[in-house]
Amino acid sequence: MDAHRKDIHNSDIPVLCRACEARHRGVCGALTSSQLLSLNKQSTRKHIEAGSELIGESQETSSYANIITGVVKLTKMMSDGRQQIVGLQFAPDFLGRPFRIDSGISADAATDVNVCSFPKAAIERMIKEAPELEHRLLEQTLKELDEARDWMLTLGRKTACEKVASFLYLIATHINPEADPDSASFELPLTRSDIADFLGLTIETVSRQLTKLRKEQVIVIRNNRHVEVPDLDKLAEFASQ
């Protein structure tokens, strides 16, 4: 992946981009430093508070964004109010659906979120100039497809307990990818209600399974939100994965 990075020195990299993960693991890694500079002129950093909407369900959005920090949830809703979270996105994921207005999905900030936002047109023009950018988008889309299909197995075939364990495992391995691969300690980015919507369960069942995992000593729960996992392998067993 690093082979695609056109820059060797940081000399002509925009200040805001220097520490940005999107330039390494994200889509911006596909750009030359001059392209990065031009895109940077049109980009703005934005802070979005937990709970507010990034992309409306079928409202047209005129910009794309990279997630800098925080967690974004992608939700589908039925007309009678039932809803399902169909994806979680972490830094440095690319946010926004290229080449189509909408697919009945809304994107909301699960936690406080910082994004780097660009006009749609700027990205689409740049795609034409840099095929490598489209390649990165394909890579991310394939990754999201894999994740969606993994989750389909969880939704369709796992028990409530396995679902909750799978969720905790997912968060433990995504919220801080560089951390210890054996144990983990983190703040849950979702409320019980969100977790239920992600797992196709009710909040009561989520709560019961969490206390079950706590009693089985698979996890330690501090403040309803803070979770510690002393042994990730053990958690994976409970998740059947």
Q: By the criterion CB under 7 A, which residues form the site for DNA?
A: 159-161, 191-193, 200-208, 210-211, 221, 224-225
Q: What is the DSSP letter of 219?
A: -
Any idea what DSSP says for residue 177? Answer: T
Q: Which does 193 bind (CB under 5 to 8 A by kind): its own copies, DNA, none?
A: DNA
CB-nearer residue toward its own copies: 124 or 180: 124
Cβ closest to its own copies, residue 28 vs residue 68: 28
Query: Do strands 113-119 and 63-69 pair parallel, antiparallel, or not at all (unpaired)?
Result: antiparallel
Contact partner at residue 202 from its own copies, DNA, none, CB < 5 to 8 Å by partner kind? DNA
DSSP string, 71-131: -EEEEEE-TTS-EEEEEEE-TT-EES-TT-S-SSEEEEESS-EEEEEEEHHHHHHHHHH-H
User: Counting contacts by CB under 8 A, is residue 58 touching its own copies?
Assistant: no
Select from 46, 135, 212, 234 the one that contacts its own copies (CB under 8 A): 135
Strands 184-187, 105-109: parallel, antiparallel or unpaired by DSSP? unpaired
Task: Decide if 219 contacts 210 (C-beta within 8 A).
Answer: yes
Question: Is residue 193 a contact residue for its own copies (CB under 8 A)?
Answer: no
Q: Does 129 bind its own copies (CB under 8 A)?
A: no
Residues 61-90 contacting its own copies, CB under 8 A: 74, 76, 78-80, 82-84, 86-87
- C-alpha span between 241 and 232 (Å, rounded): 11
Q: Smallest distance from the beta carbon of 152 to its own copies, in angstroms?
A: 5
Say whether residue 96 binds its own copies (CB under 8 A): no
Closest distance of CB 85 from its own copies, Å: 8
Indicate the residue among 85 and 201 with the shorter CB distance to DNA: 201
Query: Is residue 225 a contact partner of residue 195, using CB atoms and an 8 Å limit?
Result: no
Q: Name the 3-class secondary structure at 53.
A: strand
Tell me: does residue 35 bind its own copies (CB under 8 A): no
Task: Output the smallest distance, CB 99 to its own copies, in A.
Answer: 7
> What is the Cα–Cα distance from 202 to 28, expressed in whole angstroms?
39
Q: Which stretch binds its own copies (CB under 8 A): 23-31, 51-59, 144-152, 204-212?
A: 144-152
Q: Which of 47, 149, 214, 225 binds its own copies (CB under 8 A)?
A: 149
Contact of residue 161 among its own copies, DNA, none (CB under 5-8 Å per partner type): DNA
- Residue 236: phi and psi, rounded to 5, are -60, -35
**In angstroms, how far is CA 124 from the centroid of its own chain?**
22
